[in-house]
Structure 1
């Protein structure tokens, strides 16, 4: 069984799960509340309305709601195997367990991508309604929005790799959810310390915080720096992904 077939099987397993409705909840909540709060202050003379609305919506989303929803998705994907000893049945087949873990992670990445697409789509619709009702004629900065959404996706990859590794290591859903939530909550505090670079749970939030700093000030020190972030993020991503592949199904193989 090759890797592509494994990925197809994993998508089939979660086809009838509640993951699709779940990835709509966080974007809808944060965008509607964020745009609605800011729209009360919008006037026809308001400048950079789109950037202001995006930052208003993305701050809470990147620090909390996006990671929270990904924690649930991790548990739901892992639960397809842990329930009713499904992992034992799967490993009884001629399947490489490391490749099986990687296939599940690819499904997780797909749902991360889908949620950010939903966030972008919902934000554009809400933004158009807000700017139209306020009489603002500012052109929709689609490339600006896509750039920051791509940034959210990429900076979330080390985070979900860590979440997935914890979900694999701690097989009990309550333990994995509790530990991941415990690590997400202080993200906004860690982002304001020099240690943020080694804390993947705050990467996306830190990115949005940098965009807020660039929007409100002209301080060049607040711009998101790729170095040394990029090497550290890549190393963390590869380490956590490798750890999850090594640990997946190890207990059942004994």
Structure 2
């Protein structure tokens, strides 16, 4: 079976799951209070930031810190459970397929789900910003390129985090333990972005991006991005986690 065919097969399995609904509902819950309390964006907490940028950052901050990571943690477990239900993993392993290839295909599906939720978040921002701008008679719509760049940066920076969560779901056979470990990793996020070795902790990457952008909006000048050793560390962590995932995928069922 070709790799592309195997990946498309994994996408078809999502039709009978509630994963897509899971990605949408938390965003609706996130945006409701933001829309109701949109007038608070007119008096920003930080000096120097404009109301439209304040509305943007406050919305994406909650997304990057909690909603996005939590949804991805649950998605990794659900992707695993799609195979374990009705002993599907045993049927897949009985085929002339490489377990490593199957693990990578599911990783691609996870990336697609992450991209889909970031796109949903961006789309809801434009809708909500339009609604509150009309209701308050004040423009709270940030520049389109700024919004798209922020969403894109959040997605790209989350790739190492997704690799870590996927590895946890593969290595921890019990779903409760996998979810608990993932959620526990979110707790020190705020603390880790303020230490010198923050780049060694992938779960803090998306939130770090938003906080840096917040500083840019407040100061009015671009932030100084230190891509070294961040990028090399992120690549190494991603590769290591994917290798472990490929080696451990289906190991318990093959015994």
Give the TM-score normalised by structure 1.
Answer: 0.92
Runs of 4+ with >4 A deviation: 137-140
Gaps of 5+ in 2: none
Q: Which moved more, 1:149-158 or 1:31-40?
A: 31-40
Cα deviation, residue 41, structure 1: 4.7
Which residue pairs with 2:83 in the alignment?
81
Q: Which one of 117, 121, 131 corresponds to residue 129 of structure 1?
A: 131
Which residue pairs with 1:28 in the alignment?
28
RMSD: 2.0
Cα deviation, residue 253, structure 1: 2.2
Q: Which moved more, 1:137-146 or 1:208-217?
A: 137-146
Which residue pairs with 2:188 in the alignment?
186
Q: 1:224 to 1:53 in 2, by over 3 A?
A: farther
Cα deviation, residue 140, structure 1: 4.7
Q: 1:122 to 1:138 in 2, by over 3 A?
A: closer
Number of corresponding residues: 251
Which residue pairs with 1:158 in the alignment?
160
Separation (CA, whole Å) in 2 of partners of 1:25 and 1:145: 21
Separation (CA, whole Å) in 1 of partners of 2:139 and 2:175: 49
Which residue pairs with 1:11 in the alignment?
11
Gaps of 5+ in 1: none
Q: 1:252 to 1:139 in 2, by over 3 A?
A: closer
Contact 2:72 2:114 in 1 (8 A): yes
Q: Does 1:93 align with 2:99?
A: no
Contact 2:129 2:140 in 1 (8 A): no
Separation (CA, whole Å) in 2 of partners of 1:137 and 1:170: 48
Separation (CA, whole Å) in 2 of partners of 1:21 and 1:223: 38
Q: Which moved more, 1:8-17 or 1:157-166?
A: 8-17
